[in-house]
Amino acid sequence: MRADLEIIQKWIKPGSRVLDLGCGDGSLLAFLRDNKGTIGLGLEIDNNKIDACLNKGIDVIQQDMNKGLGNFETHSFDTVLLTQTLQAMHYPDLLVEEMLRIGKNCIVTFPNFGNWKSRAHIAFKGRMPVSDFMPYQWYDTPNIHFCTVRDFDDFCLAKNIDVITRTVVDNKHRDSAIIRAFPNLLSEIAIYHFARGQQGGQ
Amino acid sequence: MPEFLPEDSVGIVTPQCFHFDEPLILRSGKVIKSYDLMVETYGELNADKSNAILICPALSGDHHAAGYHSMTDKKPGWWDVCIGPGKPIDTNHFFVVSLNNLGGCAGSTGPGSINPDTGTWYGPDFPVVTVRDWVNSQARLADRLGVYQWAAVIGGSLGGMQVMRWSISYPERVRHAIMLAVAPKLSAQNIAFNEVARQSITGDPDFHAGRYLDYGTIPKKGLMLARMVGHITYLSDSAMREKFGKATQEIKEASLNLGRDLRAGKLSFGFDVDFQVESYLHYQGERFSETFDANSYLLMTKALDYFDPSVDYDGDLSKAFAKSDCRFLLVSYSTDWRFPPERTQEIVTALLKAGKQVSYLDIEADEGHDAFLLPVPRYMQAMTTYLNRVKQEVAC
């Protein structure tokens, strides 16, 4: 099982309705369907990934999230997922608001730019970080809105978002006591489960 | 003429005529006492009758969707690119049913048939049939074929509207509803084009209030004009530029030509045909007027105009889908300006609101509305992938 799925699936209620924004090849939704009996729907723009979803029997809508999610009803899904995509959005704040409107609870994962490697890259090389994990140059990267764990905590506080669980892991989605002790410095991927008010139902 | 039949062709096919004696009550309240439906089938129905696919025809489509009637046929059926062994609608696995709808002119009961009440042909007296009436007649055809539930009902344009109606009227009889290049109802602009087409026909002196056969004639010119107008809406601006725009001595790049190829190489400074696009439309209109019936054309355009399943649900399409129990696949095409992607997305939004299981693809295609009839690779790929899943589900 993919390590991130292992973490995320604990937060998904059996038989619930799940919307996966930027669902890729649909493997997360297929996993949740097969193991949790969820009814899933993916949003994706890439043709080949859409074909991979159809091949798995995963429903997928070809739609650009940057143009809004107005076609989805309020609270029409139990959980709305956004994995490793937040940093590529034009308006991450508006998207999170839309996720909170559409879903009763939300899960977001993003690369933590506060990780010591990123800091060291800038501090010692004086250049934007390029790694195997994020192999883009500054001018061609789809990742236009990087943030750190601390930034996202501040964001949730400012936007009155209730963080149900925050999990911080390395780039292989491994958890450790040392990462938990220094999340903003050591984690490479942050995974947030959040809701607003009583909607989380947790 | 096919010199030999391609391996992925369903081959030589023979239409069958099904007669129905049970009266069909139409949406208008009128009744067709008995009727015939012309049908073609491809592939074999499996033992538990779970592998049947219904093809709903578009405006000018008839029962001849795939294969050839004889070795002298110039062209195969209208959707041969999609139906056949190894094609997206794979006849090695599925039993495919295609028909000519009521009111048509390819063998099913229509304006050209004899009205049992009068002993003469119906002509303009053939009742206006709606998409709902067609779907009711198709359900009877399904009964006759022993098919309770279709593995999939598939159609584009007006055919897609029949698919939508199936999912609403017969929710338990459809597993998958596949709608291509479709809109939830016509817009004023769509209706306006249809009205121009109808006026072209009814204004032709040879129309004789629809009783032209009594006069041994047909409103050829009117039908031709109607088809020319329709055809313009089926193509995109880019498709026309591509089709009629070659590089010439004067115009070095095809992209600069804008589709203004000249028919005779120079301007005539008269009012005859100067450009290739004109001559193409004349040809298309003429060919159509030789094979299609004018009264049928009027009926088809009315069925389009009247289609609006939300009408019984306070105008809220999502409520119309409340009982639908199938999975949906919708496809739109980027340059379709008859039913642009936004119109198809209206249906997707209604389905999401109704909490239905739906997939939607917006295909980049230059061919306009006609793209759903053409082998656009990504569209063919998606159909193949989707129907492969259907195949696994019904284990055929």
Both B213 and B317 in a single domain? no
Of B147, B126, B153, the C-alpha closest to B30 is B126
A18 with A9: CB under 8 angstroms? no
Ranges of chain B with pLDDT below 70: 1
Assigned domain for B26 exists: yes
Q: Are strands A17-21 and A39-44 parallel, antiparallel or unpaired?
A: parallel
Q: Which of A190-194, A198-202, B143-147, B311-315 has the lowest mean pLDDT?
A: A198-202
Assigned domain for B37 exists: yes
Domain limit, last residue, from B266, B295, B324:
B295
Assigned domain for B249 exists: yes
Assigned domain for B302 exists: no
What's the rounded Cα separation, in Å, for the pair B155 and B165? 11
What is the tally of structural domains in chain B?
A: 2
Domain ranges of chain A: 3-112+147-200
Please tell me if residue B232 touches chain A, with a CB cutoff of 8 Å: no
What pLDDT, on the 0 to 100 scale, is given for residue B185?
Answer: 98
Assigned domain for B301 exists: no
Of B342, B59, B71, the C-alpha closest to B183 is B342
Both B26 and B174 in a single domain? yes
3-state class (DSSP) for residue B83: strand
What pLDDT, on the 0 to 100 scale, is given for residue A198?
Answer: 61
Give me the catalytic one of B64, B93, B176, B369: B369
CA distances from residue A94 to A54, A65, A112, B266, B355 in whole angstroms, order as listed? 29, 11, 20, 58, 24
Q: Are strands B31-32 and B24-25 parallel, antiparallel or unpaired?
A: antiparallel
Both B89 and B177 in a single domain? yes
Of B40, B51, B52, the C-alpha closest to B12 is B40
CA distances from residue B134 to B108, B203, B312, B381 in whole angstroms, order as listed? 12, 28, 18, 30
Assigned domain for B257 exists: yes
Residue A55: its chain B contacts at CB < 8 A? 385, 388-389
Asked whether the predicted pLDDT for residue A140 surpasses 70, the reply is: yes
For B82-121, what is each residue's pLDDT tens digit?
A: 999 999 999 999 999 999 999 999 999 999 999 999 999 9
Domain limit, last residue, from B240, B273, B295:
B295
What pLDDT, on the 0 to 100 scale, is given for residue A78?
Answer: 97
Name the residue among B355, B360, B386 with its Cβ closest to that of A62.
B360
CATH fold, domain A3-112+147-200, is: Rossmann fold (3.40.50)
Amino acid symbol at B271 = F
What pLDDT, on the 0 to 100 scale, is given for residue B139?
Answer: 98
Please tell me if residue A76 touches chain B, with a CB cutoff of 8 Å: yes
Residue-number span of the structural domain to which B159 is assigned: 16-185+308-394
The per-residue pLDDT of chain B, averaged, comes to 96
Both B118 and B158 in a single domain? yes
What pLDDT, on the 0 to 100 scale, is given for residue B4?
Answer: 84
Neighbour tally for A160: CB within 10 Å: 9
Contacts of B87 (CB under 8 A, 6+ apart): B8, B81
Yes or no, beta carbons of B389 and A55 under 8 Å apart: yes
Which CATH number do you get for residue B25?
3.40.50.1820
Residue B345: its chain A contacts at CB < 8 A? 71
Give the global pTM. Answer: 0.95
Of B72, B13, B59, B60, the C-alpha closest to B40 is B13
Active-site residue B157, yes or no? yes
Please tell me if residue B19 touches chain A, with a CB cutoff of 8 Å: no
What's the rounded Cα separation, in Å, for the pair A17 and A40? 6
Assigned domain for B96 exists: yes
B158-169 vs B131-145: helix crossing angle, rounded to 10: 70
Residue A176's pLDDT band, with cuts at 50, 70 and 90, is: confident
Both B28 and B118 in a single domain? yes
Q: Which of A50, A60, A69, A80 best tests the B interface by mutation, with the highest count of B CBs <10 A? A: A50
Both B266 and B326 in a single domain? no
Q: Which of B359, B390, B392 best tests the A interface by mutation, with the highest count of A CBs <10 A? A: B359
Both B218 and B351 in a single domain? no
Residue A3's pLDDT band, with cuts at 50, 70 and 90, is: confident
Residue A1's pLDDT band, with cuts at 50, 70 and 90, is: low
Span A64-85, average pLDDT: 95
DSSP one-letter string for chain A: --HHHHHHHTTSPTT-EEEEET-TTSHHHHHHHHHH--EEEEEE--HHHHHHHHHTT--EEE--GGG--TTSPTT-EEEEEEES-GGG-S-HHHHHHHHHHHEEEEEEEEEBTTSHHHHHIIIII-S----SSS---TTT-S----B-HHHHHHHHHHTT-EEEEEEEE-TT----HHHHHSHHHH-SEEEEEEESGGGG--
> Closest approach of chain A CAs to the CA of B188, in angstroms?
23
Give me the catalytic one of B157, B167, B200, B289: B157
Yes or no, beta carbons of A54 and B386 under 8 Å apart: yes
Residue B395: burial class (beta carbons within 10 Å; 0-12, 13-18, 19+): exposed
> Closest approach of chain B CAs to the CA of A54, in angstroms?
6
Active-site residue B336, yes or no? yes
Domain limit, last residue, from B295, B320, B348:
B295
